[in-house]
Amino acid sequence: MLTGPGLSLASGIRRQKSTPWAIMLFIGYWLMFAAELSMIRFHKGVDGKWVASTVGQPEVWLGLLAFGVTVFSFLATVGFIVSLLRERRQLTSWLWQYDELTGNDVLHIVAWLHVFQTGVLLLYGFLLEGTFFSIGTIGGILESAIFQLFLLILIPLWFRGRLGEIGVRRPVRLGQMLLMLAALFLLIALVMDAVVTNPIADWFGLSLSSEREQQIEKEIVQAKETDILAALTSLVVIGILVPIAEEILFRGVIQTYLVQRIGPLLGIFLSSLWFGLLHMDLALFAPLFVIGLLLGFVRHRYQSIWGAVLLHALNNMTGVLYYFQ
């Protein structure tokens, strides 16, 4: 939980019946986050570099820990939802008020993220043997982006009537922003690998083989081979919807709050760190973190998330079109 001078989430939190449950879910989110990171293992590849991969069968202690966190999270989820239902009359005015972003907003958004995370874990870990839809189909593409699609529902609903507080507004200095985006896109496309990705990987002897990128490539290639509608769906979902969802969360909610509380430098740094780690891709963590910093700079400099969304979308679309080849 974020603590320290000027960084406590307790600052600005109105006590609601749901708040203690939201705090429990906030803690559960980070416990689950730590458990997922602890399932990453390193082994030497054929080229002698370290390859990061997720274990299929975790150690007994880790499995018990994950099970304990899941039970804890499920009970907290029940309490959280019941308390929100009991508050439903007060909740309407509380949700739709035209206040600035507060610690209560961040606390409850992360709580909802963990509610969703717990539901997905229970569904796919205990009830289903696989996925609902085949890889490469329209349903499969939407299913693979279910977290981002959830964000596209949750955050606009939560901030209804005050989306401007999280940067959903027209950018200032629009012409200058577009020139900056063009420069940053070229920087990412032409310089990132030579300056960030490869040197850091070489420094740590780390292979750039990425399970996440391989899965994304497999989904895109399969979508292209399925039919034109599946291919277009992959372009729209990965190239447009995913960037919007991730930007309203990280540069909209998280960065905005952190910048308000602790200033732009540390606020952008911490939100970018969270952004990079969330992808669970240690092979490509360095470029993800740096891209997060650039996106954070654009959002803060031009007082809107739309510049960051556009840069993020250009980067993702370039990747999709590359895999189409």
Pair 188, 250 in one domain: yes
Computed from CA positions of residues 251, 256, 258, 262, in that sequence, does the dihedral angle turn out positive or negative?
A: positive
Least confident of 84-88, 163-167, 257-261: 84-88
> Does the structure show a pLDDT above 60 at 7?
no
Give the single-character DSSP code of 304.
S
Of the candidates 99, 130, 161, which is a domain's last residue? 130
Q: ∠ CA 7-13-18 to the nearest 5 degrees?
A: 125
Same domain (yes/no): 222, 322: yes
What is the arithmetic mean of pLDDT over 31-38? 88
CA distance 324 to 204: 31
Domain carrying residue 98: 1-130
**Of the candidates 78, 95, 130, which is a domain's last residue?**
130
Decide if 141 is inside a domain.
no
Whether residue 231 is found in the same domain as residue 272 = yes
User: Is residue 98 domain-resident?
Assistant: yes
Contact (CB, 8 A) for 68 and 224: no
Q: What is the pLDDT of residue 324?
A: 86
End position of a domain, from candidates 115, 130, 145: 130
Mean pLDDT of the chain: 88
| 109 plus 177 within the same structural domain | no
Residue 145 falls inside a structural domain: no
Same domain, 182 and 317: yes
Model confidence at 4: pLDDT above 50: no
Longest dimension (CA), the chain: 62
Cα gap 303→218, rounded to integer Å = 37
Alpha carbon 58 to its chain's center: 24
Residues 212 and 125 placed together within one structural domain of the fold? no
In a domain, 213, yes or no: yes
Does residue 321 or residue 10 have the better pLDDT?
321
138 within domain boundaries? no
Q: In this predicted structure, what is the pLDDT of residue 143?
A: 94
Paired strand residues for 50: 44, 206
217-236 pLDDT, tens digit per residue, is 999 999 999 889 999 999 99
> Within this chain, do residues 158 and 305 fall inside the same structural domain, yes or no?
yes
d(CA 173, CA 190): 26
Please provide residue 17's backbone torsions phi and psi, each rounded to the nearest 5 degrees: -60, -25
Beta bridge partners of 52: 42
Counted domains in the chain: 2
- Are residues 221 and 81 both part of a single domain? no
The predicted-structure confidence for 231-274, as pLDDT tens digits, reads as follows 999 999 999 999 999 999 999 999 999 999 999 999 999 999 99
Same domain, 174 and 119: no
Based on the domain organization, do 297 and 167 belong to the same domain? yes
Residues 53 and 176 in one domain: no
pTM of the model: 0.90
In a domain, 143, yes or no: no
Rounded to whole angstroms, how far apart are CA atoms 141 and 321? Answer: 16
Mean pLDDT of 106-116: 95
Long-range contacts of 269-278 (CB under 8 A, 24+ apart): 269/293, 271/296, 272/296, 274/250, 275/246, 275/250, 277/33, 277/37
Q: Are residues 237 and 191 in the same domain?
A: yes
Taking Cα atoms as reference points, which of 258, 247, 200, 221 lies closest to residue 49?
200
* Nearest residue to 254 via CA among 96, 109, 98: 109
Please give the helix or strand (H or E) that residue 231 lies within, else none: helix 228-236
- Which is nearest to 311 in space by CA: 298, 321, 301? 298
Nearest to 126 by CA among 77, 69, 80, 70: 70
Is 136 inside a domain boundary? no
Does the residue 278 lie in any domain? yes
d(CA 255, CA 297): 10
Using alpha carbons, list the distances in angstroms from residue 25 to 8, 31, 88, 222, 305: 16, 10, 20, 37, 27
C-alpha to C-alpha distance for 216 and 200, rounded to whole angstroms: 23
